[in-house]
Chains A and B, each alone.
Chain A
């Protein structure tokens, strides 16, 4: 089911968290709300599920206006960061609770719980209590409870934050599998760009209560609208060089490292700019040689990560296939792929 936020605003007392936000999530789509903490992404989520009432604006599920409906009548499933399982109930009672409050016959509940438990692979844990489960299993129970009454919308509030790294990887694909199999519209709130990029169809990146950009993960990675978006996506993160425009080229500091960049034609000389260079675009491939000194090297098994300080003091990151010939302290002359760089104006706007 399609979800539409129309001029949605939320304030607590006199603090405006979100102002006039418009967001549309297509039917069956999984959208990530990505942003640093305090950007209003959880507030948005809680407004969609009815825990917070919007200060103004409308929320629509399909064509139904749910703005003034209490959460009980909205038919949403929510997975909380802490899972919020009911500790005094067994797994079976936990999953069956949404059906129980609807006074569905207990034989029916039993059957549906068994079905959904099989779907999330916890069929053999139904008799246990939440305290007797591992983090990943609790997560699956929370998912099952959210999905059992076939909600119009599945909301996930940092669902992977409390899991260890290996489980996180596993649950990432698991949640995506469930979302695809059930065809449910889902919103994922996260501050982790890897989660957002790997699990979702589209990402809405938020900053201080505003959506900065909505795009598919690869579009957003290749074509960030602001330096904030560029710095938020990608691991290891993008590095920025500060410089000025000069005759259609980006000039770094005094020593005259000069990068001709197509996007700069028509920009007046002397404009302060920053250049975003992703670590994979600085290394052995690329056209423009850059000299610098390696100050940090880190191996990640398949790849090595280097921090290179340029003569003017700015730092470029480089990620390359594993090689043993470069050590911290070495001077290197690597190539920069200027066509893949991003140029941002002083206010962070992409040029």
Chain B
């Protein structure tokens, strides 16, 4: 916002009005808004071919919620799978990277530089190129087509970013707090758990949300590593709707899409401030 200076001089005033800016931004955002609006309207109405105006109201497209389509898993099982998938990834990433980040930031471990560089390289590495190898490994150890397998893989792929971010946040915590903790008689683990971790709570919160959203929207890994009906997640379910050339149902596809995106929107609305932390505070090398 532009603050209006309180100096009483005819030369000094607010140097521009915010109204045109808002109008311009609104204008640019309009196409996006229209698209979202149409996405939703299309799921609860039928439209004549060639027309833009919906002609009648219907809940037909949302019927996937209460009746399981032939050849498709139950939507609620799929949703539960997605939820488990995203939550477990979040859990693994938070636990591992909050500890690993601390170690890399503060402890004098052997080969610390090597690990730091390794984390950086892994972060930059496109994980999709590994997918065939991972597929073979999972099949070998019997975790192919299981949620555990794909959770471990996805978490591992996301970990370098998490570790790096956590390290950046730990670096900002003053050393004196740790020194004070140790001379107060606390073990290094207690210092981490009771004194340092609480300092970076906002970052942990942000990383958690970030990981959950990444897990929620992940498609390639579950598609390749866990496509079975019992372990399907929403993104795979959604894709399967349009892969099927014979039963082409755009209405349902859109409805599932809306259903899929609603939790994300809710998370954003409630936690966007926390999420912004990840772009603001951390990642100092």
**Would B182 and A70 count as touching, CB distance under 8 A?**
yes
Contact string, B166-196, partner A, CB cutoff 8 A, digits 1/0? Answer: 0000000010110111111111001000110
Instruction: Report the bound CA distance from A192 to B134 in whole Å.
Output: 64
Instruction: Report the bound CA distance from A244 to B199 in whole Å.
Output: 62
Q: Which of A51, A74, A77, A84 contacts B177 (CB 8 A)?
A: A84
**Would B195 and A86 count as touching, CB distance under 8 A?**
yes
Which residues does chain A contribute within 8 Å of B198, judged by CB atoms? 86, 88
Q: Which residue on B lies nearest to A88, using beta carbons?
A: B198
Which residues does chain B contribute within 8 Å of A221, judged by CB atoms? none
Q: Which of B174, B185, B187 contacts A84 (CB 8 A)?
A: B174
**Would A71 and B182 count as touching, CB distance under 8 A?**
yes
Instruction: Report the bound CA distance from A321 to B185 in whole Å.
Output: 53
**Would A97 and B179 count as touching, CB distance under 8 A?**
no
Instruction: Report the bound CA distance from A81 to B181 in whole Å.
Output: 15
Would you call A334 an interface residue if the criterion is a C-beta within 8 Å of the partner chain's C-beta atoms? no
Which residues does chain B contribute within 8 Å of A77, judged by CB atoms? 183
Instruction: Report the bound CA distance from A82 to B180 in whole Å.
Output: 11
Given the known A-B contacts A72-B186, A101-B186, are A84 and B180 also in contact in the complex, defined by CB atoms under 8 Å?
A: yes
Would you call A18 an interface residue if the criterion is a C-beta within 8 Å of the partner chain's C-beta atoms? no
**Would B179 and A101 count as touching, CB distance under 8 A?**
no
Q: Which of B194-236 contact A (CB under 8 A)?
A: 194-195, 198-199, 201
**Would B180 and A80 count as touching, CB distance under 8 A?**
yes
Instruction: Report the bound CA distance from A36 to B50 in whole Å.
Output: 85
How many chain B residues touch A (Cβ–Cβ < 8 Å)?
18
- The listed residue with most A CB atoms (<10 A of its CB), out of B182, B184, B199, B201, is B184
Given the known A-B contacts A80-B176, A84-B177, are A97 and B184 also in contact in the complex, defined by CB atoms under 8 Å?
A: yes
- The listed residue with most B CB atoms (<10 A of its CB), out of A46, A71, A80, A84, is A84
Cβ of A237 to closest chain B Cβ, rounded Å: 32
How many chain A residues touch B (Cβ–Cβ < 8 Å)?
25
Would you call A281 an interface residue if the criterion is a C-beta within 8 Å of the partner chain's C-beta atoms? no
Cβ of B112 to closest chain A Cβ, rounded Å: 16
Q: Which of B58-94 contact A (CB under 8 A)?
A: none
Given the known A-B contacts A84-B174, A86-B195, are A72 and B187 also in contact in the complex, defined by CB atoms under 8 Å?
A: yes
Q: Which of A76, A82, A86, A87 contacts B183 (CB 8 A)?
A: A76
Please report whether the interface of chain A is mostly helix, strand, loop or mixed according to DSSP: loop
Please report whether the interface of chain B is mostly helix, strand, loop or mixed according to DSSP: helix
Instruction: Report the bound CA distance from A97 to B195 in whole Å.
Output: 10
Contact string, A27-57, partner B, CB cutoff 8 A, digits 1/0? Answer: 0000000000000000000100111000000
- The listed residue with most B CB atoms (<10 A of its CB), out of A46, A76, A77, A88, is A88
Cβ of A112 to closest chain B Cβ, rounded Å: 14
Instruction: Report the bound CA distance from A77 to B180 in whole Å.
Output: 9
Q: Which residue on B lies nearest to A86, using beta carbons?
A: B195
Would you call A294 an interface residue if the criterion is a C-beta within 8 Å of the partner chain's C-beta atoms? no
Given the known A-B contacts A82-B176, A86-B177, are A49 and B186 also in contact in the complex, defined by CB atoms under 8 Å?
A: no
Which residues does chain B contribute within 8 Å of A10, judged by CB atoms? none
Would you call A202 an interface residue if the criterion is a C-beta within 8 Å of the partner chain's C-beta atoms? no
Which residues does chain A contribute within 8 Å of B201, judged by CB atoms? 88
Would you call A149 an interface residue if the criterion is a C-beta within 8 Å of the partner chain's C-beta atoms? yes
**Would B182 and A51 count as touching, CB distance under 8 A?**
yes
**Would B182 and A145 count as touching, CB distance under 8 A?**
no
Q: Which of A51, A80, A97 contacts B186 (CB 8 A)?
A: A97
Would you call A26 an interface residue if the criterion is a C-beta within 8 Å of the partner chain's C-beta atoms? no
**Would A101 and B180 count as touching, CB distance under 8 A?**
no
Would you call A323 an interface residue if the criterion is a C-beta within 8 Å of the partner chain's C-beta atoms? no
Cβ of A226 to closest chain B Cβ, rounded Å: 33
Given the known A-B contacts A86-B177, A87-B199, A88-B198, are A101 and B182 also in contact in the complex, defined by CB atoms under 8 Å?
A: no
A sample of 9 cross-chain residue pairs with beta-carbon separation below 8 angstroms, ordered by A number, consists of A51-B183, A72-B182, A76-B183, A80-B179, A84-B177, A84-B179, A86-B180, A88-B198, A98-B184
Name 17 extra pairs, CB < 8 A, besides A84-B179, A97-B186, A149-B185: A46-B179, A49-B183, A50-B182, A72-B185, A72-B186, A72-B187, A74-B183, A77-B183, A78-B179, A80-B179, A81-B176, A84-B177, A86-B198, A101-B184, A101-B185, A101-B187, A102-B185
Residue ranges of B at the interface with A (Cβ–Cβ < 8 Å): 174, 176-177, 179-187, 190, 194-195, 198-199, 201
Shortest Cβ-Cβ A-B pairs, 7 listed: A84-B176, A84-B180, A98-B184, A88-B198, A101-B186, A71-B182, A71-B183
Residue ranges of A at the interface with B (Cβ–Cβ < 8 Å): 46, 49-51, 70-72, 74, 76-78, 80-82, 84-88, 97-98, 101-102, 145, 149
